[in-house]
Chain A
Amino acid sequence: MAHLLNTSFIPSSSTLRRVSPSLQFPGHQRSRVPARIDAKIREIFMPALSSTMTEGKIVSWVRSEGDKLSKGESVVVVESDKADMDVETFYDGYLAAIMVEEGGVAPVGSAIALLAESEAEIAEAKSKAASNSSSSSSSSSSAATAVAEPEKVSENPVPTAAVKVAPVVSMPVASTHPASEGGKRIVASPYAKKLAKELKVELGRVVGSGPMGRIVAKDVEAAAATADVASVGPVSAEVGKSAAAAIELGSVVPFTTMQAAVSRNMVESLSVPTFRVGYTITTDALDSLYKKIKSKGVTMTALLAKATALALVQHPVVNSSCRDGKSFTYNSSINIAVAVAIDGGLITPVLQDADKVDIYSLSRKWKELVDKARAKQLQPHEYNSGTFTLSNLGMFGVDRFDAILPPGTGAIMAVGASQPTVVASKDGRIGMKNQMQVNVTADHRVIYGADLASFLQTLAKIIEDPKDLTF
């Protein structure tokens, strides 16, 4: 499992995934356009022509600037990773300004032209295009090619470039490859180069661990992971600003759709009165159980999800959700969402009915979900049906942190690392135990302090005596 992140949580709001990738003009201009240009001037976006397409090359513009277009007409031919395809306009109007010339490459979802509603607006659109082009070109060149989940591709066109490039990973350039000439030349394997381009990792900053110091794929992945961790801190708003290395400093970068969605939800979360309760749980028994059944494919994530689900069975209120502020719902099933960082964002695959499914099936399911998430193949019900969320930063050595409650759910639990700790026991001895800290954020409109406290007590009991986890 890669990196389970805490904050920049993508909510399961349905607006995010209503746009099918085949739409040439994703219908979400509302979310972007007002921020940049007049509503009557629409952006024409690089469409996602396949589920694996991350960027497209403009083969030719079928129409030229100033042409009147009517809905359904071909405007541009785009070369994707699979094929050359005609792209049609979704609206009537005038092709006001072409922002990406023939032969140019643009990431999926970025603006490639402006469509004006009336002739009068052409000039205005042109000036917008001109003023935008500098910022848009810088953002498009640096924009991550990372695709979000396919359903969201057109909605989340330019996932945070900054996330990947931004943090100057403070690794020494220590390539010892004889051909690297002291770092002047970079020796990276073909796949490492491909990955670096995809993940926006600067190869010059990656330490090679392959034969003779060559950079191989896992080095790039490690560098990307470190970059992710460094940039996606608790304050996700920082993401844009920390774009130091590859992005012009001082430039104003408009939110991508994904960033806008995250921002909207984070702001929305402020309307929910949350509070937090922490607990320290001894994990020696869980660790040894894990060691025992690890070979059967059981993962720690599945164990934690299982334990949480079993605790939730006894505390249904913690598994409830309040949407309208007047009533709340006891959810009928216990679906544990687990936050997973993916290229350019974060997704929460859901382990459904985690209380009922046995640990082995749950582990298999988890592996399947993660693979799907990586392959951008998750179906909506597989990431938006969570009733309780787990976020684990333990693998980074984080000992405790604080999660923001995803709107629409009752509670989220932040899990820190399990660490050897000196513990005084009741019988007056001092011993070493592995302990981890968990911290639950909950909606106080429906879940009260005592609810959370007793839930955590139950959870601690289950984890400290985990025989029930394996049935």
Chain B
Amino acid sequence: MQSSLSISVSPHTSLTVQRSNRNALEPLAFAPPSKPLNLRFCGLTREALGFSSLRRNSDSFRFRLSSSARVRRADKFFVSASLSDNGSPPKTFDYDLLIVGAGVGGHGAALHAVEKGLKTAIVEGDVVGGTCVNRGCVPSKALLAVSGRMRELQNDHHLRALGLQVSAAGYDRQGVADHANNLASKIRNNLTNSMKALGVDILTGFGTILGPQKVKVGSDKVVTAKDIIIATGSVPFVPKGIEVDGKTVITSDHALKLESVPDWIAIVGSGYIGLEFSDVYTALGSEVTFIEALDQLMPGFDPEIGKLAQRVLINPRKIDYHTGVFATKITPAKDGKPVTIELIDAKTKEPKDTLEVDAALIATGRAPFTHGLGLENINVATQRGFVPVDERMRVMDSNGNLVPHLYCIGDANGKMMLAHAASAQGISVVEQVTGRDHVLNHLSIPAACFTHPEISMVGLTEPQAREKAEKEGFEISIAKTSFKANTKALAENEGEGLAKLIYRPDNGEILGVHIFGLHAADLIHEASNAIALGTRIQDIKLAVHAHPTLSEVLDELFKSAKVKAHVSGPVSEPIAV
């Protein structure tokens, strides 16, 4: 689409303007044609440019702002035309679906919407790709790829066991940083192109909800849509008392640029983000101090997995930790003084310690990015910044009533702050607005932490499962297999690892699977798919796995489960959460 765009636009400026002009009027002048038809034109044929929409306007103006006076006049005209429409709920809409926020959630929703034949636009106030692509999962994977290799190359013992000889491994910080940055821009372009290719309009500007089915983009553009999805995501959460300067006291946003590799960095928070960064920093030679408010590291992981992970990922590395403490005050380094961190006991609130380190990374989680979204215009009150939604991602106003045609997905609703969860929620919403009721089973959404080795999980942890079993009066069983028994893992000399299955012995339902070991993040999907599809252990244990592969760890796991029911029942419906 991009290429076709440049072909049509560049040689014929005046023609483009005319087209744009006509386009701009289109929403007012004509009822939208039947959606699939329109879309097909939009997406797939070059002629569609003529019928297409706002993005091309803005694009052409951005490209040749000074090319002719007519252009600018056309722009003004268009704007006023739009604004004149601002007062009452529109009868006809610019779009079938408007998504506010072009992160992974919005992208997933947009792609699915196009597939379903909706005329779709996506609003982005910053860069396409959102946190995941630009400041999260994607660049961090680039850094972790480097750290994984560094670890391998530095592990003489491991290399010798394989018969390899490598002389001292080193790295170039800027080179590593560039790799992360290049990856982010590559994925960002892929994302942008995939949407453009499908004919999704990308509207640049900060989206604000003006009223039902109406969104202001940037300072003066107003767009209407039949359904609106809020997918504005989140930003790093920085607790009170912590002063972030972006150099010595940083969040993941800064850390991913890898502008420095401090000798000693304190990481506040030992969840996914903190753990992954500890993996990166220690591989690059830093020493790390974890500060965790809860009594144990890695809260949120299954305790058994957490314990094992601590043995492998924390204890043998140059990492120490303080648990059960809050960092009440963190002051960046200046005037030759180091970063100071004041710790208090999480329970007694007594001052406990003061740390002086070279840098501090704040990885205390993420806060929803919903401020300035104009939610007050539709009487929606956020809860700690999160947009309240029901299980179908429908936004609820302050009286607990559903706001029609408004949905919120991803980090902004806080249900499950993972990129792929946002995308799944977006797809679920599109299913609903296209007439198929759909409720996403969050228990089937896997999560992964890309340390070396990786940690992954889906469903309930053992304590959660026990609680549920107690409440609902069923029995649970646990099955475990070790990577030590897996041929492929041993061939890689990476036998450290555990897979754990929590299930109901009476009917073979999978309640949770937790994996710690080589490529755990890739292995979890067999389990998450089984949960999503309601596959029971007695059925999946008959499935065949290629030998020798790591997937046999799960094969063995399923086979080691002892299920009383042998007859496979009908596939159960996914449970709503």
Contact = CB atoms under 8 A, between A and B. Distances in A.
A431 interface: no
A179 B354 contact: yes
Interface stretch (B231-239, B246-254, B316-324, B399-407): B316-324
A212 B318 contact: no
Interface residues of A, number: 23
Contacts of A187: 356
Nearest to A187: B356
Nearest to A51: B157
B338 A191 contact: no
A101 interface: no
Contact of A191 (B318, B355, B496): B318
Contact of A82 (B264, B288, B311, B338): B311
B311 A81 contact: yes
Interface in A173-204: 177-179, 185, 187, 189-191, 193-194
Contact of A375 (B157, B289, B496): B157
Chain B contact-residue range equals 20 to 34
Contacts of A217: 318
Contact of B287 (A185, A191, A371): A191
Contacts, number: 49
Contacts of B316: 52, 81
B320 A190 contact: yes
B147 interface: no
A211 interface: yes
Interface string B157-172: 1000000000000000
Nearest to B356: A179
B157 A190 contact: no
A377 B318 contact: no
Interface in A75-126: 81-83
B59 to A, nearest CB: 51
B318 A190 contact: yes
A371 B320 CA distance: 25
Given A179-B354, A375-B157, A377-B157, A193 B320 contact: yes
A189 B263 CA distance: 9
A444 to B, nearest CB: 42
A293 B355 CA distance: 46
Nearest to A368: B160
Shortest beta-carbon contacts, A-B, top 8? A191-B318, A190-B320, A179-B356, A190-B287, A189-B287, A191-B287, A189-B264, A190-B289
Interface string B326-355: 000000000001101000000000000011
Interface in A212-270: 212, 214, 216-217
Nearest to B353: A185
A278 interface: no
B338 A212 contact: yes
Contacts of A189: 263-264, 287, 318
Contacts of B157: 375, 377
Interface in A144-195: 177-179, 185, 187, 189-191, 193-194
Nearest to B358: A211
Interface string B465-503: 000000000000000000000000000000010000000
B18 interface: no
A421 B246 CA distance: 58
A212 B356 contact: yes
A66 interface: no
Contacts of B289: 190
Given A179-B340, A210-B263, A212-B338, A190 B358 contact: no
Contacts of A375: 156-157
B315 interface: yes
Given A190-B289, A191-B318, A216-B263, 12 more contacts: A81-B315, A82-B496, A83-B308, A178-B356, A187-B356, A189-B263, A189-B318, A190-B288, A190-B318, A191-B287, A194-B318, A214-B264
Contacts of B320: 190, 193-194
Contacts of B318: 189-191, 194, 217
Question: Among the interface residues B263, B264, B319, which one has the most CB atoms of the partner chain A within 10 A?
Answer: B264
Nearest to B337: A178
15 contacts: A81-B311, A81-B315, A179-B340, A189-B287, A190-B264, A190-B287, A190-B318, A190-B320, A191-B287, A211-B358, A214-B356, A216-B263, A217-B318, A371-B156, A375-B156
Interface in A365-382: 371, 375, 377
Nearest to A80: B311
Contacts of A212: 338, 356
Contacts of B355: 179
Contacts of B264: 189-190, 214
A377 to B, nearest CB: 7
Contacts of A190: 264, 287-289, 318-320
Interface of B: 156-157, 263-264, 287-289, 308, 311, 315-316, 318-320, 337-338, 340, 354-356, 358, 496
Contacts of A52: 316
A56 to B, nearest CB: 13
A105 to B, nearest CB: 13
Question: Among the interface residues B319, B338, B340, which one has the most CB atoms of the partner chain A within 10 A?
Answer: B338
A368 B134 CA distance: 44
Nearest to B262: A211
Contacts of A193: 320
A216 B287 CA distance: 10
A211 B359 CA distance: 12
Contacts of B340: 179
A371 B287 CA distance: 22
A178 B357 CA distance: 12
Contacts of B287: 189-191
B368 to A, nearest CB: 33
Contacts of A83: 308, 311
Given A177-B356, A189-B287, A211 B263 contact: yes
A173 B258 CA distance: 36
A211 to B, nearest CB: 7
Nearest to B482: A83
A107 B217 CA distance: 66
B498 to A, nearest CB: 9
A193 B354 CA distance: 16
B252 to A, nearest CB: 21
A375 B158 CA distance: 11
B405 to A, nearest CB: 53
B296 to A, nearest CB: 15
Nearest to B161: A377
Contacts of B356: 177-179, 187, 212, 214
A82 B264 CA distance: 26
A86 to B, nearest CB: 15
A179 B354 CA distance: 8
Nearest to A177: B356
A190 B355 CA distance: 11
A194 to B, nearest CB: 7
Given A187-B356, A371-B156, A211 B338 contact: yes
A55 to B, nearest CB: 12
A464 B355 CA distance: 56
Contacts of A211: 263, 338, 358
A113 B412 CA distance: 57
Nearest to A180: B356
A179 B355 CA distance: 8
Interface in A130-152: none
A179 B316 CA distance: 27
A89 B145 CA distance: 45
A57 to B, nearest CB: 11
A371 B158 CA distance: 13
Contacts of A194: 318, 320
A375 B287 CA distance: 21
A278 to B, nearest CB: 39
A178 B356 CA distance: 9
A87 to B, nearest CB: 18
Contacts of B337: 178
B302 to A, nearest CB: 15
Contacts of A214: 264, 356
